[in-house]
Every structure is written in structure tokens, then in C-alpha cells.
Amino acid sequence: MNILNKSFNTKYNTAPFSKINNEDYLPAFKKGIEVARTEINNITSNPEASTFINTIEALDFSGEQLDRISSIFFNLNSAETNDDIQKIAQEVSPLLSEFSNDITLNEDLFKRVKSVYEKKDSLNLTTEQQTLLDKKYKSFSRNGANLPENKKQNLREIDKQLSKLKLTFGENVLAETNNFELLITNEDDLSGLPDGAKEAASQLAESKALKGWLITLDYPSYIPFMTYADNRELRKQLAIAFGAKAFQNNDHNNQNNVLQIAKLRHNRANLLGYKTHAHFVLEERMAKNPETVETFLNELLEKAKPAAEREFQDLEKFAKTLDNIDQLQKWDSAYYSEKLKQELFDLDDEKLKPYFKLENVIEGAFTIAEKLYGLHFEEISDIDKYHEDVLTYKVTNETGDLVSIFYADFFPRPGKRNGAWMTVYKPQYIKGGKNDRPHISIVCNFTKPTKTKPSLLTFNEVTTLFHEFGHALHGILANTTYPSLSGTSVFWDFVELPSQVLENWCYEKEALELFATHYESGDVIPMDLIKKIKASSTFHEGMQTLRQISLGLLDMSWHSKDPSNIENVKAHELEAFENTKLYPDASENCLSTSFSHIFQGGYSSGYYSYKWAEVLDADAFEFFKEQGIFSREVASKFKDNILSQGGTEDPMILYKRFRGAAPRPEALLKRAGLIGK
Ligand SMILES: [Zn+2]
């Protein structure tokens, strides 16, 4: 019997990990798709006129079985994969995209959705229902459902070209990254590099049967070299190679691809009735339109620029004193910044780690959640887990009701991908009057305990844990009717608020005293260390802000105007950087040709959201600071208006209801030390 094809019959209805065999997946996916198709057919063949309930709600609750199998399978493909699972993923992915295309292109279904949408004002819908209706309607209209047949064809053609161009763009960047190698044969040229980086470089050379040390443009090789290598000439060589990716006179040049992608995106947006690609993208973001984004970036620029220029001059003076450098170049930036930082803060991870034993940090995060939201985390051992390292918890509220199941998976192992993330095994929703609680998980790659030492976290790992735990709280406290609006299913420039805001507690004395105690002596972390952590966290914040703004403006320059007159990628880029540049330009370099975030990944017209999210979290945390970081009053407002609401309403409205006003950049600028307190 295939465990995935029936009700799990497990405690709390949790995933039955131990009973699933790899052979179960493919048949279960096929069965899940079949059931979902039947559910969709039941909607379209309903003889009754379309209503919100028989169409929109039915659509949102369809495919539940398929969703559960998908989330179990793809979560494990990230956290505990192997060759078999990856092979199944290869087989399953086309089936799933075919199924989702069939829904988007289902004209009968769209007709019913549209007829509900057209009478929406007379339906007396709740706010959540209106949001769901809007979201469902747009999932069709934004894919061309309203277009006449010939224009639908155009759209498919553009989409086909775009996906090909994006693929080529990425392949070119990868090829250019891989084609460059800097082989060092004289050990003196490695002066300044930490031992770990030297060792990695020597192993890399060895793996290619070369003698010496090999440096490449991959981040783990490139970043340490740019940060620590004393040899300025080699840093220059490496930086120029890095910046010249896909901008050289060879087959991997991306200039034409950049121009074509920008133009096709613009045409696609026009076809769908939007002024530009940015207008199309931002319709489904908190920022709403390009004007808001541009004003936002330019306002930040105005505030951050004086600080950035000051920092740049200080760094230039420092480099002059140290090495008699006259003109600071971009290949000096990481190197002298690191040296200056060492001189100013003398703060290294080894000093901090003893205060951050993993078990203490987890307890600390739980205590903070208890103080703020009345949540209680109890470790349980009566549910299945997919690996023995996974910790399992039952989360209850102050009246003892079950709020969520929570999984935490902290240590690296083969089969787990890098990084840290929060994910969902089962979303929250309300069906038939019953509030079905979610199953939430966080996955990290932290330092493992050894025989003699417990797991001691770096400060960066501590903030990562809080970050993911913040996302988890968004899932745990979800309280919506519809699964597709639940928890973290919110606009993309809003989703980092709950995670980033929680990181702020890691810098507060009152919070650190709860858990940052030395693993041997039990002493609380000294105040001067806390002060240093705080000060170093905003080191060179002006220049970093300027850098982020420049990338955000470059992104907008490609997507918020008609790009048909742009002919020269480099010239266009120089113009976009006009107000944000600090370092002299290198004519051999171009950023756009390897800006994968916006030309290959999903960040087009979205790069601003890094800073946007920071503004939100700083402004939200300032509210906590005003009332006390453990204020139940502010916490309740945050829970009731944001954490529990998911994507049920426009995020700006939710935010204003929490804060009493729209987010302002002042709190971020203050926190970053860019304006006076
Ligand atoms: Zn995040």
C-alpha cells in the first residue's frame, strides 16, 4: 500500500517519513495530479452558475493531496537528498509544470473565474475573499488569458524566447566564471591570506593536477583573496577578470542578450496592457509601481551619500597611511575595509562563540517567542522525522491549544544543500469550521558539536537562526481561511519583515542576557562585547547602502522605461551609475552582462526589495524599542496585523494597521548610523 496515496493517519497528521519508500513518490505524484484534475473538472463542469464558493474557494482547496506530497518531496530534495530522489525530481518536474500550465490555459476555468471577478462588487465578500479572488483572477490574466488568440501566440513566443535567452545568459556567466584561473606558484604572492584559504587554493590546484595555488572567480575563492591578499597587482588582475565576465570579445558575451531580454520583457508587458516590465512586476508587490521604488531609492541615496563619501575618504586616508595608495580602486575596497575593521573593533568569532552554545540560542529564541506571543515550545519524540538530527516540537499557546508542529534541522551533512531556510510541510487553513494547524520547519548548516565541544555558533549563525525562526513564526502563527494566503504567502517585498525584524533582538542586552551565557563558566556576555557587535554591524554601512542603491537603480533603469533606444550596454550602465559611483570605472568591466539576479533569476524590478525590507524591519523594531522590546502590546499588534494575516490583505494596509503609519526610512538610517540619533 502506498502510504502517500491515503490519509496519513499519523499523530497530528504529520508526514510519515519513516514509512515512505522512494518508489512511492512517482505513483503518488501521478495519483495526486489525477485527483487534482478531477477536482478542477468538477469545478468547470458544474452546471450551476459560478460563485465565489463553487469556483474560487473550490480552486484554492483543490490539489491538497498533491501539495502535501510535493512539499514532503521537495523539502527532502533540499534537506536530505540522494541520487534516487534527484532522479525522481527530474521525472516529476515536467509533470508538475504541465499540470500547472494546463490550469493557467484552461479556458473554461478562466471563464468561471472571470465571471465571479466581474461581479465581485455585488458579492459581499470578506477582505480575505476579495484578495483571493483578485489573486486567482490575476494568475490567469497576467499570463494572457484575456488576450485574443493571435496575441496569446505572441506571448507564448516571447516567453519561449525569454526562457532561452535567460538560460544562455546564465550559461555564459558560468562559462566565463569557469574559464578564468589564476595560478600562483610563488608562495609570497599569497601573503595575507588566512591558512584555510591557502589550503583551499592548494587543494584546488592539486585537483587539476597543477603545482601551486589556484584562485578562481567562485566566491569561496574570490572573496578571501580580494579581502586578504597583500599583492595589489594580483587583486587588480582578479577584480578586472571578475568584472569582465560575459563582456569580452568571445562567444560568451552577454551584451546582446541583455538588450534582447530588456526589450522582450517590455514588449511582453505592453502586450498585457502594462506600461513597462516594472509596472507589470510591481503590481504584485508592496511598492506597487516604479515611481514609488525610484523615489524610495533616491531618498535613501540622498541620505546615505554623505556618509558613504565620508567613509570612502577615511578609507582612502587609511590606505594612504598604510601603503601610500594615492587613488583607491575597487580592488582595494574589501582589503582595506577589512584591515580598518580589524583595527577599529578587534572582534573575532572565536571570542564570541563560547557565549552562543546552540542549545542556549534555541532556548533563547523560544523564550523570546514566549514573552512576545505566549508561545510554548515542547520537544516531542512521538512523531516521525526524516533524519535523527532533526528536532521536533509541539507549539502551544497560553491556553494549551496546539498552534503548530515545528521541525528544526541544524547540522550540515551530505545530501543537504548549503544555506539556511524556512519551509512548510503543511500550511494552515480553516475548512469546515476547523482551523487546521501548520507544520513548519527550519533548516540550517551550523557548526556541529565535537566529542569535546558543544555546537558553538558564530554571531552570524546566531542572527541566521533568528532570521529563519522569524520566518517560522510567520508560518506558526498563521490564521487565515485559505491555504494560498496563509503564513509566508505574501508579496515578495514584504516576506522578509518577520525574519529580519527578529534579528534585532540579537543586538539587545535584555535579550542577550536571556541566552548568551558562556558554555563553561555560565557568565553572561560582557557589555563591551555587545557594544562592539553593534558598532561593527554598521561598519561602512554608508558605502554598502550606496552599493545596494546603485544596483537597485541599475535594475530599474533596465525595466521601468522603454528600452528600445538603448544600444550600448556599458554606456547605459555608466549613466545609471552616475549618482552613486565612488570608485573609478574600469573600462574593461560591465556589471549588467553578469547581473544574474535580474537577467537570469527572479529579481528583475525587485532588487530594491533588499533595502525596502530593511526599512520595514528597522521601522517596525523602532516601535518595539519605544515600548520595550518585550512589550506585549506591540507584539500583539504585530501578531494580529502581520504574522497571523499572511497575504489576506494589501501589505501596506496591514503594516499601517500595526504601526499606525507608513514605514519611514529614518529608523534604518539611524540604526545604520547614517543620520544622527
Ligand atoms: Zn529570509
pLDDT tens sequence across 183-239: 999 999 999 999 989 999 999 999 999 999 999 999 889 999 999 999 999 999 999
Cα 418 to middle of ligand 1, angstroms: 14
- Cα separation, 615 vs 173, whole angstroms: 32
- Cα(347) to centroid(ligand 1), Å: 26
Tell me how far apart the alpha carbons of residues 206 and 208 are, in angstroms, rounded to a whole number. 5
pLDDT per position as a tens digit, 362-401: 999 999 999 999 999 999 999 999 999 999 999 999 999 9
**Cα–Cα distance, 14 to 298 (Å, whole number):** 48
Residue stretches of the chain with pLDDT short of 70: 677
> What are the backbone dihedrals phi and psi of residue 396, each rounded to the nearest 5 degrees, phi first?
-125, 165
Q: How far apart are CA 528 and CA 677, in angstroms?
A: 20
Buried b (16+ CB within 10 A) or exposed e, 288-326: bbbebbbebbeebbebbbebbeebbeebbebbeeeeebe
Q: Alpha-carbon torsion 257, 263, 264, 266, what sign?
A: positive
**Centroid of ligand 1 to alpha carbon of 613 (angstroms):** 10
DSSP 643: I
Local structure of residue 439 (DSSP, 8 states) = E
Given the DSSP bridges, would you call strands 439-443 and 421-426 parallel, antiparallel or unpaired? antiparallel
Task: Say which DSSP state 275 is in.
Answer: S
CB 486 within 8 A of CB 429: yes
Q: Identify the residue whose cell numbers are 524590478.
A: 605
The whole-number pLDDT of residue 601 equals 83
Sign of the torsion angle spanned by Cα atoms 261, 263, 264, 268: positive
Q: Which among 238, 233, 230 is positioned nearest to 177, based on CA atoms?
A: 238
DSSP single-letter state for residue 585: P
The one catalytic residue in 64, 176, 468, 614 is 468
How far is ligand 1, taken at its centre, from the CA of residue 493, in Å? 11
Residues 480 and 430: beta-carbon distance below 8 Å: yes
According to DSSP, residue 491 is labeled: -
Number of H helices and E strands in the chain, helices first, is 27, 9
Distance of CA 504 from the midpoint of ligand 1 (Å): 14
| 611: CB partners within 8 A, 6+ apart | 296, 297, 300, 545, 548, 549, 552
Residue type, 301: L
Instruction: Look up cell 516590465; give the residue.
Output: 277
Identify the H or E element spanning 436: strand 434-436
DSSP 8-state code for residue 399: T
Q: What pLDDT, on a 0 to 100 scale, did the predictor assign at position 674?
A: 86
CA of 553 to the centre of ligand 1 (A): 22
pLDDT of residue 188: 97
Give yes or no for a contact between 622 and 560, defined as CB atoms under 8 angstroms apart: no
Distances (CA, A) of 214 to 36, 195, 218: 52, 14, 11
> Per the confidence metrics, is the pTM higher than 0.95?
no
**H-run or E-run covering 377:** strand 376-379
Cell numbers for 99? 499540470
Contact 384, 10 (CB under 8 A): yes
Residue 185: DSSP 8-state: -
Distance 605 CA to ligand 1 centre (A): 19
CA 670 to chain centroid:
24
The neighbouring-strand residues paired with 407 are 392, 441
| Per-residue cell: 633 | 502590546
Helix 219-228 to helix 330-345 angle (10° resolution) is 70
- All three cell numbers of 150, joined, read 493571435
Residue 181 CA to ligand 1 center (angstroms) comes to 33
Q: How far is the CA of 146 from the centre of ligand 1 (A)?
A: 35
Active site residue 468: yes
**Rounded to the nearest whole angstrom, what is the distance from the C-alpha of residue 244 to the centroid of ligand 1?**
30
Q: State residue 149's pLDDT score.
A: 94
Exposure string over 101-127, b if 16+ CB within 10 A, otherwise e: eebeebeebbebbbebbeebeeeebee
